[in-house]
Structure 1
């Protein structure tokens, strides 16, 4: 990448609107790394959470196009079946399976992971895409604020329990975060958002900040098993989740929103590119990105460790 291209790439990120929109996607396609080779995932197995529509379905489609056997993890079996049918219509030879689990429910995650590991001896790609943005503070069945349960606790526990089938063959784990995390500090003293006036968008961004801050620690925890951990943000994509949770935002930005396949592009690239990208980083449009733009959002090592200990305790891990 030339100095001029790097400067333009940075400018797109700093100005947000062009960088996160379809404009940035179209521009960056002219200089970003090559697409994964055809059949790059042939013979490999992928699991995508939140795969009933939007980015999850688009990720499943992208992985299937590269030859992967894809497991779509959903809460709604009918939506999962419709997503699987849509993928098969695009990729007739695709092997697609629908799995059921509520990622916010830690007992359900344990049951799912145990059953999946018994049935599927090898997992190469695990994409944590399941997401939620409640209008009011809502707790999971385990008593945790819902966004942190879905975006942090469920994914950490699921990955840990699937280590036996992820280990030993350069597996890749991708967490789908959000650029909204740039506006929030790591909530070290209140990870369950019990204090202050609750806002769904703030809760969502705080939980995504937790994903990004913990990425290096997750990478270190699972490195010995040959597992690479990546966190990425998809930019602004037109998905059912955005339309239902942020209708005003979707209406105002509609003309420049990315489609779901563009939002999922970096997930698929991280899952299939060769050589494997380095783990523990935060990615957008096939490039590692800074995790902070403002000094006020930077966490200390002590704050990060405090959240890490809270997560491990919440999911019952050492």
Structure 2
């Protein structure tokens, strides 16, 4: 049975298409006040119009836009009950953003981390449940604190994507470790291999999965991919899933060795704060 979400505010990034779009629709039908965020106001217009709200946007390749988005969310949302970090991308070649970071890392991890940090006081006061879209690809990720942007390593689309999704999972678990002090809970999930626009820039094996007819036959649709996001946004007791990783709808699924290291999660958090010029007192 769907949970009545009346009176609850849900912010979803990556809501202009794919599973974010579908999750926004479903949660609005359950009564939530959904605040959809896309990479541009033009791309967000359709879902915003459907929900009867003004579009919000931030291009995650520009951290200045993430800072602007945080300010707009603080103005619009007195409380945030659920924050879904769902925006993501596969980048076909090594690109360095104007902020000096490899693009996959910035879109998939650094920008969500920055948004979370800038909203921290509001999230803590709201006892927000944070839902983070990770991926089964995290299994092949390797966190290199001294080489985030592939300055020394050979770049590949899949390696950069996998690293960023492993970082998302470690991010989730460090938020969960801090719950007793902050009141903020977090859960990560793998939506499945979804027939959405995320694979547009895929290369190698990921190109075969996302951009061929055979691959399309093996993928799931956006409604099925959105199911874990909707479930986690509506869970009655977020503490019951705090720090967990869902493989689609399977709770507490197995994860890679690096993803289970509390020490690495803490070191990654500190390193990320330094990279983004954030205070380290949270």
User: In structure 2, do the counterparts of structure 1 residues 163 and 247 end up closer, same or farther at CA, with 3 Å as the change threshold?
Assistant: same
Matched residue of 2:241: which SS?
coil
Shift of 1:222: 5.0
Deviation of 1:175 (Å)? 1.0
Residue 64 of structure 1 is matched in structure 2 by 28
Q: Pick from 87, 107, 112: which aligns with 1:130?
A: 87
TM-aligned CA distance change 1:305 to 1:220, over 3 Å: closer
Partner SS for 1:188:
coil
CA distance in 2, matches of 1:265, 1:300: 28
Aligned-partner SS, 2:188: strand
Check conservation: 1:73, 1:100, Cα contact below 8 A: yes
Preserved contact between residue 188 and residue 304 of structure 1 (Cα < 8 Å): no
Kept in 2: contact 1:176–1:231 (CA 8 A): yes
Matched, 1:215 2:179: no
Alpha-carbon contact 1:188-1:303 (below 8 Å) kept = no
Tell me how large the CA RMSD over aligned residues is: 2.1
For the 8 Å contact 1:47–1:72, the answer to whether it is kept is yes
Confirm or deny: 8 A CA contact 1:117 1:164 kept in the other structure. Answer: no
Q: In structure 2, what is the equivalent of residue 315 of structure 1?
A: 276
Name the residue aligned to 1:225. 182
Paired position in structure 2 for 1:249: 209
User: CA shift at 1:291, angstroms?
Assistant: 1.1
CA distance in 1, matches of 2:181, 2:52: 30
Gaps of 5+ in 1: 1-34, 89-93
TM-score (norm 2): 0.88
Give the corresponding residue for 1:273: 235
CA separation of 1:197 and 1:154: change in aligned 2, threshold 3 A: same
- Give the Cα separation in 1 of the matches to 2:221 and 2:75: 36
CA deviation map 1:170-199 (0-9, x unaligned): 321111011111122222332222222211
Q: Secondary structure at the match of 2:56?
A: strand
Gapped runs of 5+ residues in structure 2?
Answer: none
Distance 1:220 1:299 in 2: 12
The 8 Å contact of residues 91 and 201 in structure 2, kept in 1 or not, is answered as no
Which residue of the other structure, out of 82, 103, 109, is the alignment partner of 2:46?
82
Distance 1:303 1:285, change over 3 A: closer
Match of 1:55 in 2: 19
* SS of the residue 1:141 aligns to: coil
Q: Work out whether residues 133 and 204 of structure 1, in 8 Å CA contact, stay in contact via their aligned partners in 2.
A: yes
Aligned to 1:14: none
Shift in Å, 1:274: 1.6
Residue 69 of structure 1 and its aligned partner are, at CA, apart by 1.2
Alpha carbons of structure 1 residues 96 and 299: separation in structure 2 relative to 1, 3 Å:
same
User: Measured at CA, do residues 285 and 75 of structure 1 come closer, stay the same or move farther in structure 2, by a change above 3 Å?
Assistant: closer
SS where residue 288 of structure 1 aligns?
coil
Deviations 1:11-40 (A, max 9, x none): xxxxxxxxxxxxxxxxxxxxxxxx442xx2
